[in-house]
Structure 1
């Protein structure tokens, strides 16, 4: 029997990459989601409603790793209905996974639950790590705190190690991701400073995200909350400058806060996703000996330019087609 990895929210951006990652390593992958739309086709697909036990629970029996990424997107306006759905979808899915693990004869070895670097207070003066970091205020922070509380409150057998992944912005050359949005702004000449521009950005390259998940799975003494971010924390102004330089774009119009407020309403999202300073230091990963392959933002952008889409990212290095996108100026 192949070892099993179970991924909840497998039809989302990170779920697709994780499913392909573990399928290529020879694992049996159980991809669990509310519907097949967006699923990568890796492993076996199992449907659930995110609230109640079902046949999917059998996949957790003896699993090497369970990863929960399920939850309504936060890229929306925070009205009462959306706030309720964002919070309920995360807590309900976490609780029913805990219930399923308690019913296993052979419980999973590791249960990782998604969280967010937004957990920490707005900080422009010092990084926030897992030991000294202070929780912030506001709806996003409240969601992160209550999500982690639900996760760690779930009583599971002692054999199951639990890790909350406080993840920064994951960069991959994929449609509808942060990388694609910023690249589009730069190409349109709108890639200037956003707000004050001093807000810090916590990010991680998709390759390092996958490697960090593997690293944590194999570290028997790593549990609790872990920051999944790169060791470099550019300001918003620095981040946008690197994107402009990669694109060969000499100008980038800045956007004041009032401009972002208007744009956010049009796009039905929140300026908090842009303006809040996220300075999450991956102290635990660093002290445990993890090494980043893409620790600097300029190098990470350059690498992602050459790997457009999931198929190109996972193609063996010797067979990758670099193409004109990898070296022509004026492209990111």
Structure 2
């Protein structure tokens, strides 16, 4: 199987690449700079530059996965907001152009997305059938992003929008959440009642593998574990695994002053369930937070 990945050098992309290589698949990483690989089944394909011609290298590709986009873990100035949106729209448009120009189109296009599209809520539960969409910056960003990705579906390619929750692993948000506990300064963030819909990196990788090999799955898929928790419980579980106290609160006003609008990522949340994953018989490796954090933090 031949798989193309944009954003393949990031946290999620690296895990996906290693998984697919372990299965004997050929992986083609789309990159802005010229790179070479010493591994037989790993290839780098230059794109998003005037001199690049990725189409020829991607003829015969079976799967295209788009993870590209500027990180949202930065202070949301107006300039940063524009870059966050533009980077996602630009890469998705480029993917559309590539797929449209292929003689034989892939069987599936998987576009990274986010549960932020649902907006934030303390008392609502969201599944893929939820029609409610948020009005904050993240929700609007995801809506624009998914609209662009859905154009690939119009080419007759099965299109799946994997709405990521907080991805737990050695990269991403978790190390920053764990650090205060390592310094004996961990505690509740804001009210502590906000929901955290999370997924272990291993489950995210295996869920994407499952999506590739399950043709009936289309449209949005919530890439989250089946047991979301509230932030206070999340912190207590970290404290338990690291044998550290959970005592020093970080009030909302302090986080807003420090992070600005980006504090939304910590102070607000949504309770999201993986209905499509479960109904398609995906078996979670780490269904509970206790199990997931135990696996990730066991050596720390």
Which band: TM-score by shorter chain? over 0.9
Residue among 256, 259, 264 paired with 1:261: 256
Q: Does 1:54 align with 2:52?
A: yes
Separation in structure 1 between the aligned mates of residue 151 and residue 245 of structure 2, nearest angstrom: 51
2:223 counterpart residue number: 228
SS in 2 for 1:153: coil
TM-score by length of 1: 0.85
Separation in structure 2 between the aligned mates of residue 68 and residue 185 of structure 1, nearest angstrom: 33
Query: How far 1:100 moved relative to its partner?
Result: 1.0
Q: Does 1:44 align with 2:43?
A: yes
SS in 1 for 2:185: coil
Q: Does 1:207 align with 2:199?
A: no
Q: Does 1:163 align with 2:160?
A: yes
Separation in structure 2 between the aligned mates of residue 36 and residue 135 of structure 1, nearest angstrom: 39
Runs of 4+ in 1 over 4 A off after TM superposition: 39-42
Separation in structure 2 between the aligned mates of residue 137 and residue 199 of structure 1, nearest angstrom: 18
Q: Structure 1: state its 5+ residue gaps.
A: 307-324, 326-331
Query: How far 1:32 moved relative to its partner?
Result: 1.2
Q: Is the deviation greater in 269-278 or in 18-27?
A: 269-278
SS in 1 for 2:262: coil
Separation in structure 2 between the aligned mates of residue 35 and residue 12 of structure 1, nearest angstrom: 14
1:299 counterpart residue number: 291
Q: Does 1:186 align with 2:184?
A: no
SS in 2 for 1:271: helix
Could you list the per-position Cα deviations for residues 110-164 of structure 1 after superposition, in whole angstroms to 9, with x for gaps in the alignment?
A: 1001100111121211210011251111111110000001111346532x21001
Shift in CA distance, 93/40, structure 1 to aligned 2, threshold 3 Å? farther
- Across the aligned residues of Structure 1 and Structure 2, the Cα RMSD in angstroms comes to 2.1
Shift in CA distance, 286/61, structure 1 to aligned 2, threshold 3 Å? same
Separation in structure 2 between the aligned mates of residue 128 and residue 168 of structure 1, nearest angstrom: 12
Shift in CA distance, 53/130, structure 1 to aligned 2, threshold 3 Å? farther
Query: How far 1:288 moved relative to its partner?
Result: 1.3
1:273 counterpart residue number: 265
Separation in structure 2 between the aligned mates of residue 242 and residue 35 of structure 1, nearest angstrom: 41
SS in 1 for 2:222: strand
What does 1:1-332 correspond to in 2, within 5 Å?
3-35=1-33, 43-49=42-48, 54-154=52-152, 156-158=154-156, 160-174=157-171, 177-264=172-259, 270-306=262-298, 325=299, 332=300
Separation in structure 1 between the aligned mates of residue 5 and residue 231 of structure 2, nearest angstrom: 32
Shift in CA distance, 156/126, structure 1 to aligned 2, threshold 3 Å? closer
Contact 1:114 1:165 (C-alpha < 8 Å) held by counterparts: yes
Could you list the per-position Cα deviations for residues 268-306 of structure 1 after superposition, in whole angstroms to 9, with x for gaps in the alignment?
A: x71011111122211111111111010100110111124
Contact 1:52 1:96 (C-alpha < 8 Å) held by counterparts: no
Q: Structure 2: state its 5+ residue gaps.
A: none
Shift in CA distance, 26/90, structure 1 to aligned 2, threshold 3 Å? same
* Paired positions, count: 298
